[in-house]
Structure 1
Amino acid sequence: MNAAVPPGTDLTARLLVTGAGGQLGRELLRLVPEARAYTRSGLDITDAAAVESAVRPGDVVLNCAAYTAVDRAESEPEAAFAVNATGPAVLARACARAGARLVHVSTDYVFPGTGAVPYETTDPTGPATVYGRSKLAGERAVREHCPNSQIVRTAWVYSGDDGDFVATMRRLERERDTVNVVTDQIGTPTYAADLAAGLLELAAGPGAPAVLHATNSGRASWFDLARAVFAGIGADPGRVRPCTSAEFPRPAPRPAYSVLSAAAWRDAGLTPLRPWESALTEALARVAH
């Protein structure tokens, strides 16, 4: 998926990206290098004065800043809520005062993860982790303080070269004879480049609903994804061995099922993200060079 900013728009002059040092922020800047971009060190989104000075009238703010250390959040709830809840609230107020638009990236972790069919945007939330609760608090703050906003939930985001799951599997393929990966967590791997393109398409057009889901299409377990990575780099996928989540206890429980429905995204006239398998093929080819 190689969406571009539609011709005739002035989005590039108005785009402001927070969390520009993360994998999604970097992909946005690769597609729109002219955007005003702030890394964590460049803009503390919990600092109201700094945010007020950064946001201009007519801006479209893409908030990619997030505390994403899911396990560490269990013992650092204040840090997680500062970035994931207080920060979006500060951004939302600043955008509302400036007459700017806010597109806020959220997560599948706002759902309980116990379902069996894809979560719709209207389904009840019920996060089971500190991380999920902090992200849900951020969503609520955005809706409360900035009417001109969209919340985009996504899941299982990777770029393939930045310590994410795909990058980890590439590394472990070199280091180990076999790798054990869980089979009982189901979701949708989402290529950061595809998500970035989708966010830019959303940002360039008006009239989208307040809450959307954006992932590559299809579903997989982490085991499925690991095998696909091995196969994609020419290794034997049989070296990936199945295991259960119970064999790898973590401080924060992982959702057993976190597939997100793309119905609202499609109904808004936005381009559906391609199947995760073809996105992974492109990602692996890109990081191989």
Structure 2
Amino acid sequence: RVAIHEAMAQQTISIAKGGIVATLNARTSILAAANPTFGRYDPYRSFTDNVDLPITILSRFDLIFVLRDEPHPGRDEKLADHILGLQSKVVSVTSPPIKPEILRKYIAYAKRIQPELTPAAAKLIKKFYLQMRSIYQQTSTVAITARQLESLIRLAEARARAALREQVTEEDVLDVIDLMKRSLSEVGVDVETGKPDIDVILTGKPKSVREKFVILLDTIKELQEEKGCAEDEEIREALKEKGFSEAEISKLIGRLLSDGKIFSPRPGVYRLT
């Protein structure tokens, strides 16, 4: 995790082994996969709760997609036929649509192209960015940041490069906007409110959760100022009056303890750090 973070953040890899200390360039694309923490993806939990990866790594990916194993008669039948076919004695050999050596040459040639962003393409990217930013006026949540704007530019250039074009066209931008929308709809949404919130990826805490943490911290602070400490029972009573559930309170307190925001000098008592 440390190595991939340095590669994504600084595009370098530091080596200190066998008396050799060096910093190597790591300018490469990264295609990564991760398994759900609980064995199966839970749609009622946020993406960051489902995947045990640091926010500093997740926030640096241009696109993130969730692949779920959901029953589907057509796909299930094709998969079963494919697996059973591999075990049969008769193996059908099919040639690839593009020969590997030609594909390697195509990729090597495409990498040499440095597409330029045309005014029309830049205008489309700007329009989408401002449109997503304006969602804040209705939801009070941030749907997209400058980091996603940079991702859109990189993706549009990659799309043009794959088509061996010297310029980024409006078609390239529209395609990558669709990809970005799909990605944000899967991982950039607050599961509790259903509202778009990029902080799910950037900080691990959507706006609705941050507000609950603030209420809990304020409650502990008030009780601490009155009595010198905040007792668990009093905290729960105060939060239940504000609509918090028992399980929710326990989860929030546990998160603050693990983050070091509060500590417990003795069982059932909490103080701010």
Fold match (TM-score > 0.5): no
TM-score normalized by the length of structure 2: 0.22
Higher RCO (C-alpha under 8 Å, 6+ residues apart): 1
TM-score by length of 1: 0.21
**Greater CA radius of gyration, 1 or 2?**
2
**Greater share of strand:** 1
Give the structure with the higher percent helix: 2
